Structure 1
Amino acid sequence: MTNPLRLPLTGYRILSAEQYGAGPYGTMFLAQLGAEVIKIEPPKQGDTARAVGPHFLREGESLYFQSFNLNKKSVTLDLTAPTGQAVFRRLAQNAHAVANNMRGDLPDKLGLTYAALAEINPAIVCAHLSAYGRDNDRAKWPGYDYLMQAEAGFLALTGEPEGPPVRFGLSMVDFMTGTMMTIGLLAALIEAARTGTGRDVDVDLLSAAVHQTSYPAVWYMNEGDVTPRAPRSAHPSVTPSQMFRTADGWIFVMAQLPKFWAILTGKIDRPDLASDPRFATPADRLANRETLTTVLDAVFQQQSTAHWLGVLQGHMPVSAVNPLDAALDNPFLRETGMLDTVAHPDRPELRVLANPIRLDGERLPNRAGPLLGADTASVLVEAGYSVAEIADLKASGVI
């Protein structure tokens, strides 16, 4: 019998006043890596994600919520009430970190900052994820992923050149910002373990979105080069690296390096393209991208996507352009363990995604996201509250 997987964050306790997607996505990584993540939710309605449709396990328990809250505990607590604040501070005494993804002006008001908690727990780390930051004129502004994609230039970089700006199909700014928050939180935890002193860690959606503009940003800031949209979702400066039509769909081909261009022309039985002066160098191919696209479309449209994958896969970077159902029904995901099943009270075999991180070659263990308030009583008992005190808190609406 094999030993259970050692999870590196076992023994760490994280309180998280979180909702919706960005913050919960980040703290789910902590929970899957072994931390005890205690999700602080408003009594009665809980995290707004619980009510996001269209698919539900029960009333107020959505599949959307499960996407971001595996492995966590749920405690209902009214942080706006003085009594709720007292409960929170007692829990924070024995926590390693507090995370939140509230509007920028709220952490100070709700006592979620290092300044508010250092006196009771000098080593505590307080991680804040907001839309625009906590220290500027936009601190009170609400904000969401799609707005950040718009303001940071993502929409202008995405889509066909002649079409309207297009957002990502997924809330990637949320997910990246949540991941960045966990990186900052973990770094601060390492320091706190070494020094005994915690701190605030801040990340905001707009800063994260702007940071992801990466090399186009550096090109513009240094050369005044504004990266345009390219047809067929193509790479801005390398070709062929784009979608091509096949007999029954689309294929994405990436001849990013000269060796892959040579492989491509050989595998599709068009060695004449390699010697064609219009396509001789990367610069030539870029200058004649439209012509090259027409030529390669004519080749790829002679056979199906599956045929061309059989010819090219394993020899050069290439992929089918899958719809979501085909992407998730991909047998390779089952082979690599990226699809998992957890037990939920309403669905004994709830299908979820595995964490992409592996430890010693093994995927991280998953369990279903908690029902609202499922762990309130046990967490408060552990914090020293009596059954009678817990009943009083419940009767008053604080939990």
Structure 2
Amino acid sequence: MAGVVVIGAGQASATVVARLRSKGYEGAITVIGDEPVVPYQRPPLSKAYLLGDMDLERLYLRPQSYYADQNIDLMTGVTVSAIDRAAKTVTAGDAVIAYDDLVLCTGSSPRRLPASVGGDLGGVFVVRTLADVDAMAPRFVAGARVLIVGGGYIGLEAAAVAAKLGLKVTLVEAAERILQRVAAPQTSDYFRALHKGHGVDLREGVGLARLTGQDHVTGAELADGSMLEVDFVIVGVGIVPTSDLADAAGLTIDNGIKVDAQGRTSDPHVWAAGDCASFPVGGAQMRLESVGNAIDMGELVADNIMGAGLSYAPKPWFWSDQYDVKLQIAGLNSGYDKIVVRDGGSGAQSHWYYAGDRLLAIDAMNDSRAYMVGKRLIESGKSADAAAVADPATDLKALLKA
């Protein structure tokens, strides 16, 4: 029995193999990751780890000893170059490894600035891997000038860390407002005020024209003609699913590696989970970039490898830490036509997304109670009266009983 081979060594991968063993799978399990470390958490990289509040061992999803104890062959620092679906093998370094079931947990890759605008200069970083953050961390010294390109969550989290450490931070966002792709104007307003209150020079509706410098970045020209002197640059302009290996193997690609409701790709012996995988929802392929999705899909795929026959029902949730604010998000806000703002007291606030009378999603800032109530309502397919939500006198728990 060749067993299960998992390509990738992140949250989804770690979840798949742990679930298989906990459910009694006794076959061989091999995990192949191209980074030279055991599977680790990525979200803290741009938050607690970069700030110095979390050490390396706390990043690990499981200690090194776990894999040996569970008879899991963990291959780190090894790149898979090919999948032979006919032979049911993968080529990993110099090894050819057979599989009965193959799971692709290849994750996603950050978009980078093209060389034509200076993206290949020294001192230009992205935030995705441990190596990325370790490379930029020594530059986080008080007084250093950092330019952050992109006003999504990664860029804002990096800006928060830099500002807390005393750097001079400029953040540029080409769209009209920060978080435009993922949040309502009210949420953008909240975080704009937060960052400006911490001294961030936040410029919206202004793109980057080019970076300047010989071998190392020294400045930036913005689309409005303004010039900046910078010591280093962090690029946070989104990610793309890592599907090259699957594509080369002839698997169907549609907004990532296309899987069916059970997590199978177009090959019944190959599965996919996490950022790299798109699954069917309402006649289209959806892809979620979150820890929750990686865990839920990983568990589903492991269960289905063992014959459970389950279909995926996503329950989206996300979070972001910036300064002393914890943002918690539940649901998907696509199609909203109304925002209800609730004052949670003591600086807490929540934004509730509605399509007509139907609750779609919630953004909760330092308001864990609102988040939990909103999440439970959304996951149960229920809504709450918008006027009641907006009234700070309303007992949130009572909304669950309405």
TM-score (norm 2): 0.32
TM-score (norm 1): 0.32
Greater share of residues in helix: 1
Greater share of residues in strand: 2
